[in-house]
């Protein structure tokens, strides 16, 4: 993708300085539900109305979307509310139908962006079309694959492009439906600062009660907008009932999504930042010096172990180090999990350093 492409600033032309809000049901179910939800999200302050027309479901037999009839309802919702409309497309046929129903924004879902063949077919169907296209992250945590999907769409001539972060599928036991892995969208934003980046807290959370927290985290992390599943009667939704919120709840959330300043304008604050950052830089330099000293001790112990034929890994010593570190963390009010992870990393490196000492003794020296 082109670096520093302005992507035509389509997002700011819709939301200005505010966070862009896309809201609407997981699925279009009935005409009444589509029209009522559209009116509700418009009143709440959303900019764009979303609705799923064809639903990618994990197993057959579940509700797979109402199909093309739903596009007519979305068109009607647009006529009645003036909202910009967005639907998911998963193949060229969907693209053709969405275009013939005058849908403004098409998005590619997580189960489609994972497959370059499917994305390319959609890209080919979009050649010469002037629409906005949003690409959700693939279900697996693969930034290159996400960028590849965006590139295919861009190469088809789509200038109004954007990315949606909806989290990543995982078999781990976790509080989320999809793991956020925030570093991945942050890496995308760092590489393509002008590419609009939207967060989908509904599919990350999987539960309506966690949607706000995730959305707020995204806003603090400088995301440009949010896509939030909204339904007039979430508990009766035909898909993703557990994670949808009502338009009234959405209305109570939106005023709280105030984007932070990405630059510091206040001169006094800037001065304080400079001092604090200097302190942090000094501490970081000191940390590296301490690691150097730690490494020297480890090398010495490695040589002694080698001389006396002692095993590198000493379980009791490791457990002792770990329990001391965790106890210390507790005493100093530092996150114990973080300290534990850090010490695991240190120990892993320590084993590596000692292995290196052992290996060096085995390779013939240049002198003999």
Output b/e per residue, 24-58; b: 16+ Cβ within 10 A.
bbbbbbebebbbbbbbbbbebbbbbbbbbbbbeee
Q: Is there binding between residue 109 and ligand PEP (CB under 6 A)?
A: yes
Stretch near Mn ion under the rule CB under 5 A, chosen from 159-167, 188-196, 233-241, 356-364: 233-241
Q: Is there binding between residue 110 and ligand PEP (CB under 6 A)?
A: yes
Task: Measure CA 236 to chain center.
Answer: 28
* Residue (26 or 106) nearer to Mn ion, CB: 26
Exposed, middle or buried: residue 359 (CB in 10 Å: 0-12, 13-18, 19+)?
A: exposed
* Residue (203 or 339) nearer to ligand PEP, CB: 203
Count of residues engaged in binding ligand PEP, rule: CB under 6 A:
10
* Residue (26 or 218) nearer to ligand PEP, CB: 26
Q: Which two tokens stand for residue 24?
A: 């609407």
Q: Give start and end residues of each alpha helix (H) in 242-366.
A: 247-253, 267-307, 315-331, 336-362
* Residue (88 or 154) nearer to ligand PEP, CB: 88
Q: Interface mask (CB under 6 A) for ligand PEP, residues 76-105, using x and -?
A: ------------x-----------------
Q: Is there binding between residue 206 and ligand PEP (CB under 6 A)?
A: no
Question: Can you point out the beta strands (E) in 137-241?
Answer: 160-165, 197-199, 225-229
Which residue in the set 47, 94, 101, 166 belongs to the binding site for ligand PEP (CB under 6 A)? 166
Q: Is there binding between residue 232 and ligand PEP (CB under 6 A)?
A: no
Q: Is there binding between residue 29 and Mn ion (CB under 5 A)?
A: no
Q: Within 13 Å and on the Cβ side, how many CA atoms surround 337?
A: 0
Task: Measure CA 362 to chain center.
Answer: 47
What does each C-alpha distance from 9 to 12, 83, 191, 195, 328 come to in angstroms? Answer: 6, 19, 17, 9, 50
Q: Is there binding between residue 203 and ligand PEP (CB under 6 A)?
A: yes
Say which entry of ligand PEP, Mn ion, none residue 109 contacts (CB below 5 to 8 A, set by partner kind).
ligand PEP
- Cβ distance 54 to 73 under 8 Å? no
Which residue in the set 104, 121, 224, 240 belongs to the binding site for Mn ion (CB under 5 A)? 240
As measured in angstroms, the least distance from the Cβ of 278 to ligand PEP is: 43
Which residue in the set 42, 94, 136, 189 belongs to the binding site for ligand PEP (CB under 6 A)? 136
* Residue (111 or 347) nearer to ligand PEP, CB: 111
Q: Interface mask (CB under 5 A) for Mn ion, residues 7-26, using x and -?
A: -------------------x
Which residue in the set 21, 22, 26, 215 belongs to the binding site for ligand PEP (CB under 6 A)? 26
As measured in angstroms, the least distance from the Cβ of 25 to Mn ion is: 8
Site for ligand PEP in 259-288 (CB under 6 A): none
* Residue (109 or 247) nearer to ligand PEP, CB: 109
Exposed, middle or buried: residue 316 (CB in 10 Å: 0-12, 13-18, 19+)?
A: exposed
Task: Measure CA 76 to chain center.
Answer: 32
Stretch near ligand PEP under the rule CB under 6 A, chosen from 106-114, 206-214, 246-254, 314-322: 106-114
- Cβ distance 218 to 19 under 8 Å? no
* Residue (18 or 64) nearer to ligand PEP, CB: 64
* Residue (244 or 350) nearer to ligand PEP, CB: 244
Q: Which two tokens stand for residue 118?
A: 């499917």
- Cβ distance 206 to 178 under 8 Å? yes
Q: Which two tokens stand for residue 109?
A: 């879902």
The position carrying tokens 């393509």 is 192
Judged by the rule CB under 5 A, the positions of this chain that interact with Mn ion are: 26, 240
Which residues bind to ligand PEP, rule: CB under 6 A? 26, 52, 56, 88, 109-111, 136, 166, 203
């Amino acid at each position: 993708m082109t670096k520093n492409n302005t992507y035509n600033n389509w997002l700011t032309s819709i939301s200005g300085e505010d966070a862009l809000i896309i809201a609407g049901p997981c699925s279009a179910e009935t005409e009444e539900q589509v029209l009522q939800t559209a009116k509700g999200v418009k009143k709440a302050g959303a900019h764009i109305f979303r609705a799923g027309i064809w639903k990618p479901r994990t197993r057959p037999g579940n509700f797979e979307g109402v199909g093309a009839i739903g596009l007519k309802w979305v068109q009607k919702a647009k006529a009645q509310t003036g909202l910009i409309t967005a639907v998911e497309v998963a193949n060229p046929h969907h693209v053709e139908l969405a275009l013939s129903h005058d849908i403004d924004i098409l998005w590619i879902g997580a189960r489609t962006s994972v497959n370059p063949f499917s994305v390319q077919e959609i890209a080919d169907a979009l050649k010469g079309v002037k629409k906005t296209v949003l690409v959700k992250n693939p279900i697996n945590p693969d930034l290159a694959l996400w960028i590849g999907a965006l590139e295919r769409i861009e190469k088809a001539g789509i200038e109004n492009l954007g990315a949606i972060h909806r989290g990543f599928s995982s078999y781990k036991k976790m509080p989320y439906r999809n793991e956020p892995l925030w570093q991945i969208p942050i890496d995308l934003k760092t590489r393509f600062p002008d590419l609009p980046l939207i967060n989908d807290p509904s599919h990350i959370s999987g539960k309506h009660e966690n949607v706000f927290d995730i959305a707020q985290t995204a806003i603090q992390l400088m995301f440009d907008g949010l896509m939030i599943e909204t339904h007039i009667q979430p508990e009766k939704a035909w898909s993703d009932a557990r994670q949808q919120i009502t338009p009234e709840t959405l209305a109570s959330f939106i005023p709280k999504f105030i984007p932070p300043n990405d630059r510091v304008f206040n001169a006094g604050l800037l001065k304080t930042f400079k001092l604090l950052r200097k302190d942090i830089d000094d501490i970081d330099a000191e940390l590296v010096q301490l690691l150097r000293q730690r490494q020297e001790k480890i090398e010495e112990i490695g040589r002694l172990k080698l001389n006396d034929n002692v095993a590198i890994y000493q379980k009791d010593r490791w457990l002792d180090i770990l329990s001391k570190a965790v106890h210390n963390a507790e005493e100093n009010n530092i996150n114990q999990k973080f300290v534990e992870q850090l010490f695991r990393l240190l120990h892993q490196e320590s084993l590596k350093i000692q292995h290196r000492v052992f290996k060096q003794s085995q390779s013939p020296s240049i002198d003999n």
